[in-house]
A = this chain, B = another copy of it.
Amino acid sequence: MNKRAAIVGASGYSGEELVRLLLNHPHAELTAVTSRQYAGQTIAQAFRKFAHLPRARTLRFSEPNAELLAKQAEAVFLALPHGVAAEYAIPLLQLGCQVIDLSADFRVKNPAAYKEFYAHDHPAPDLLKKSVYGLPEIYRAQIKNAPLVASPGCYPTSILLPTIPLLREGLIRPTGIIADSISGVSGAGRKLEQDYLFVECNESARPYGIPKHRHLSEIEQELSLAAQTPVTIQFTPHLIPVSRGILTTIYLAPAEHFQSRTGVSPVSGLSNAATMDAVAEKISICYHSAFGNEPFIRLLDGKSLPDIKNVIGANVIEIAWRLDPRTGRLIVMSALDNIVKGASGQAVQSFNIMSGFPETAGLL
């Protein structure tokens, strides 16, 4: 039997992708989409690209109304700007809905950390305890019974999935981690700012938001949980002229190396070929053990390296890794579609888990 689902705030890129995924979902029925901007229009009118889907020609956008939504749907996706999810999450949860929030509002567990990075008090600190960080490959069991899933976004997903297994296994040092990301422009949303005009982005590449990007709060929270020690990382996002996709390169120090040494630079320990091979094998085993059976994680063997063009439109993250015998460092690279595995696809993945559907339903 199909499950009724609704989307609140469906006018942005993530909301639009949720519409696409849920209209094509074999076990979900999209019963409501809200948007103040598009209220009254059909999905086909607001997003012409879906006009060939029959349901898009009949379902109309409405003004958001929690009570009404609770009657229309068992599960509600919130695709709202930062800071306003609580306004809908609170009543929807009280009315018995499952809530999957795509904003950062319920991802940071510690209200103090939230305030440090977002510069205001959390609007619903009680809900933080109820929410589950919606990274299915890490928190599948908790997501299953969660009333509220805080579905992580693109940068966190691209950093956390490749790093958490290594930290959990103690294969890398929890200090000195650097994540360098390049992102497509849809990551900025449909904002009308000069910086995101075609002419300003085309033939451009630039860092931004450094050194203290807001998403560091949730990234470090999850890395610290994996490492069982506080983790502080370096994170540099860059904007490049593609519509979608994130490629992240992560610089890590294998733990073996540091057991015997005090700095990164003297690499004689690791450059010992036998040690290198042993470390490489442990890392490979770690990844295949953690993710070998995951339907949405593509571990790249051989000479392949991640490329966003291989994940665009798919709920997939590609991961590859290299040990550098010259420096002793481990370099891990990941690629995902920021709107799918980095947003709406991942949210539907959690929805599937919460609903008892096959986790890949509507996502292959």
Contact = CB atoms under 8 A, between A and B. Distances in A.
Interface-central residue, A198, A232, A251, A304, by most chain B CB under 10 Å: A198
Contacts of A244: 203
Interface string A14-55: 000000000010000000000000000000000011011100
B251 A49 contact: no
Q: Is the interface of A mostly helix, strand, loop or mixed?
A: loop
A103 interface: no
A232 B267 contact: yes
Interface in A244-286: 244-245, 247, 249, 251, 262-267
A135 to B, nearest CB: 17
Interface in A294-351: 295-296, 298, 300, 304-316, 318, 322, 324, 326-327, 329, 331, 333, 335
A264 B205 contact: no
A329 to B, nearest CB: 6
Contacts of A211: 322, 324, 326-327, 331
A232 B265 contact: yes
A200 interface: yes
B309 A203 contact: yes
Nearest to A183: B205
A241 B238 contact: no
A185 B199 contact: yes
Interface string A199-240: 111111111101110001000000000000000111010101
Interface residues of A, number: 83
B295 A52 contact: yes
A306 B236 CA distance: 13
B243 A249 contact: no
B207 A333 contact: yes
A48 B190 contact: no
Interface-central residue, A51, A186, A262, A300, by most chain B CB under 10 Å: A51
Contacts of A190: 194, 197, 199
Interface stretch (A1-9, A75-83, A173-181): A173-181
Nearest to A247: B205
Contact of A234 (B242, B245, B324): B324
A196 interface: yes
A194 to B, nearest CB: 6
14 contacts: A52-B315, A180-B236, A182-B238, A190-B199, A192-B194, A198-B201, A203-B309, A206-B309, A207-B306, A232-B265, A234-B251, A234-B327, A234-B331, A264-B264
Given A175-B263, A196-B199, A205-B240, 11 more contacts: A52-B295, A180-B180, A198-B243, A200-B309, A202-B242, A204-B308, A207-B249, A216-B326, A232-B265, A232-B326, A232-B327
Interface of A: 13, 24, 48-49, 51-53, 174-176, 178, 180, 182, 185-186, 190, 192-194, 196-208, 210-212, 216, 232-234, 236, 238, 240-245, 247, 249, 251, 262-267, 295-296, 298, 300, 304-316, 318, 322, 324, 326-327, 329, 331, 333, 335, 364
